[in-house]
Structure formats: C-alpha cells, structure tokens
C-alpha cells in the first residue's frame, strides 16, 4: 500500500531507494548477493517501488552503482 504522505523518490535519492529495497527484501540479500544483482533486475525493482517517480530512461549505470552500494550499507546497519 502506498503511503499518500510519503515524498516522491527520484534517481538521485540513493539512500532512500536503498532503504526501500532493504525494507522490501530484508535479509534475503546479504552483501555478496547485493553486489551480484544484475543491473537489469535492480532497475526493475527500483521502478516498482511505490513512491518512485523516475523513469527507465533517466537511469544511469552510476545511479545503479550508488544504489547498490547504499543498499549494502543499509544491510550492514541492520545487522546485529
């Protein structure tokens, strides 16, 4: 369910995207698995996020790399 009060997320919001991905997948993906995700899969997952307002055409490899790294840091922050 989409939060009607949530701010829109765009490609430059790497940390917000990473947090959303962590909330979606939790510990299903550890650091090694996150770094092995194909960018085509990551791109589709980002586009499916409820408050994401970017487009496929606006995506760059740099954005996807930043999101991937931020997701790893988000995963690390949530480990005991």
Q: For position 33, which CATH number holds? A: 1.10.10
pTM above 0.75, yes or no: yes
Please report the pLDDT score of residue 39 as a whole number: 96
7: in domain: no
Please report the pLDDT score of residue 49 as a whole number: 96
Q: Range of 69's domain?
A: 14-77
Please report the pLDDT score of residue 54 as a whole number: 95
Low-confidence ranges of the chain (pLDDT < 50): none
Number of domains in the chain: 1
Is residue 66 within 8 Å of residue 22, measured between CB atoms? Answer: no
Please report the pLDDT score of residue 20 as a whole number: 96
Please count the other Cβ atoms lying within 10 Å of the Cβ belonging to residue 22: 21
- List Cα–Cα distances, 71 to 4, 5, 7, 29, 76, in angstroms: 24, 23, 19, 10, 9
Please report the pLDDT score of residue 2 as a whole number: 54
């Amino acid at each position: 369910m989409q939060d009607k009060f949530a701010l829109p997320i765009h490609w430059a919001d790497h940390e917000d995207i990473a947090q959303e991905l962590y909330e979606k997948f939790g510990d299903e993906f550890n650091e090694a698995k996150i770094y092995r995700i194909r960018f085509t899969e990551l791109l589709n997952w980002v586009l499916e996020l409820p408050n994401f307002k970017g487009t496929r055409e606006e995506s760059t490899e740099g954005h996807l790399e930043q999101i991937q790294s931020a997701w790893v840091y988000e995963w690390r922050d949530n480990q005991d």
